[in-house]
Amino acid sequence: MKPVIVPFDKCKNFDDLLNGIENLFSDKSALDLVGFIKINDAVHLDKISGPELIRAIKRIISEQGSDAGIFLDLKLADTSDTNANVVNRYQDLIDIVTVRESVSAKGFLKLRQALPKTKIALVSALTDTPELECRKRNGMSPAMKIAVDIANICSAYAEVREEKDALLPFDLVVCSPLEVNFLFNLCGDLFQFIVPGIRDSWMAEAVGQQARFTGIREALNSGATYAVAGAQMTKGNPKAAEPVSAEQSRRLTFEEVGKSEYVAIDPSDPLATLIACNGFYESPKNEIGAYLGPLVAYAGKYDAGNGEQKNLVGFHYFNVAKAEERPLVRKVFAKLLAEKVKSTLADSPTLLLGMPMGGIVFTAALSTELNLRLGFAEKKVKKLADPAAGIKEDSSLTADRHDIRPGDKVIIVEDVCNNFSTTEKAREMIKAKGGELIGITCIVNRSPNESWEDLPVISLIRKPTLQYRQDSLEVVELVKADKVAWKPKHEWPRLKEAMEKK
């Protein structure tokens, strides 16, 4: 996902608008950065209707080799029927539309029904309003006003929606860079964030309409999903003491985004978020759909005869470590998983126990969300891996760093569940210390089951994936050719290179 939204406002005529968009996408930096073109007053140009204009813009975008979407910044604020009548003209043409907080819950519902494929963005505190003015007019800061509006609209919407309707009244929240981190921490597990007010150091002397602004790297690191950058992407700062052209400004913006910790977090689709983190591998296929490898080795084993245990292999791998290293993703995943735990378990847990090593980081994050005591198990290696023989290392579990108290109701936390070999070891260890295992949580459950030994498996991502013996017909030739990553995390660059070649 590309994080920059470029607005085309104050356009005087049709040709200037299309020429401006064509010029923007002639630059590779723009092709790599721009996810959406934003228009508002342009849909009121003479001699062309709004829908016709958008179709023309989409043609230009496609011709320039971009996949950017259309963001229609109407800031709808009318009655439910009027708003629905307006947007009906844009069905299947727009990807995002803005709606003011003054719209009724029924109005949000009608917009959801009228534009099922379009994301709705809430506009509450306009970014050209200084904080002091917002406090005087609303009795609260911009951040608090937006938070209150979110809570109130969601509450009212829940009373009018039916089961078939979208769960939430909107998908995105528009806020300045000064509010985004507060709002992300509050509801980043529910919404994405559009952040205007982007002005980096080389644009310092350029005058913009936003009263609350920061640089793009800071905005993305604070939780922005998309950053709206106008003059910075289309004009640069030619009047500065050291002039910056539009092309230079785009290149500098690209560099700033590259220095950020940005990843597109989609709270409605954790797998898409993991993929955005570069945390998912699928073996490439040839033109007839046959897998080319490399395979990956799994923790699960089978009896290969003569007392030899070999690891199962497959074509998919979930590298949750790529998500756990990112604080914003970690926070959202922990919040989402915590809600699932609370809605699933009948017993009240007293201890979260992280499994080594993949479960440890998310145990800490989940412990904060659930306000539960935590512990970490440790792995004791009994036999080293032997890649030449197709065998991963063998180990047992200990838990000496933290207490498992007699009577503890324990949830174990893993990164990926499938064969539950670690789960069996954990249950034995917990029982030996007087505790009781009551549930299993994980980021990814790739097994075909949602329970193990009558215990619930509570996962954020459930995606059953096949695994094979090394002598299975589907994989045996790849195994013979040594096209197997025995330690997938350690061989991640090799796996990603294979995916990029497909």
pLDDT in the model for residue 309: 87
* 211 — pLDDT class (breaks 50, 70, 90): very low
How sure is the predictor about 300, in pLDDT bands with cuts at 50, 70 and 90? confident
Percent of the chain past pLDDT 90, that is, above it, reads: 79
pTM of the model: 0.90
For the record, the structure tokens of 415 come out as 């990164």
Q: What pLDDT is stored for residue 210 in this prediction? A: 52
- CATH (one of 1.10.3720.10, 3.20.20.70, 3.30.70.270, 3.30.1490.440) for 4-262: 3.20.20.70
Phi and psi (nearest 5°) for 389?
A: -95, 0
When pLDDT is cut at 50, 70 and 90, the band that residue 378 belongs to is confident
Q: Tell me, what amino acid is at 103?
A: V
CATH topology identical between 4-262 and 267-502: no
Arithmetic mean of pLDDT, 291-295: 92
Q: Which fold has domain 267-502?
A: Rossmann fold (3.40.50)
State mean pLDDT over 199-222.
77
Average the pLDDT over 188-214 and give the result: 79
| pLDDT, average across residues 456-471 | 95
132-176 per-position pLDDT tens digit: 999 999 999 999 999 999 999 999 999 999 999 999 999 999 999
- 239 with 207: CB under 8 angstroms? no
How far CA 273 is from CA of 45, 121, 189, 446, 465, in Å, comes to 38, 20, 12, 17, 19
> What is the reported pLDDT for 380?
76
For residues 24 and 299, the model is more confident at 24
Distance, in Å, from the CA atom of 456 to the CA atom of 337, rounded to the nearest integer, reads 13
Kindly list the domain boundaries of the chain, sorted by start residue: 4-262, 267-502
pLDDT score of 9: 86
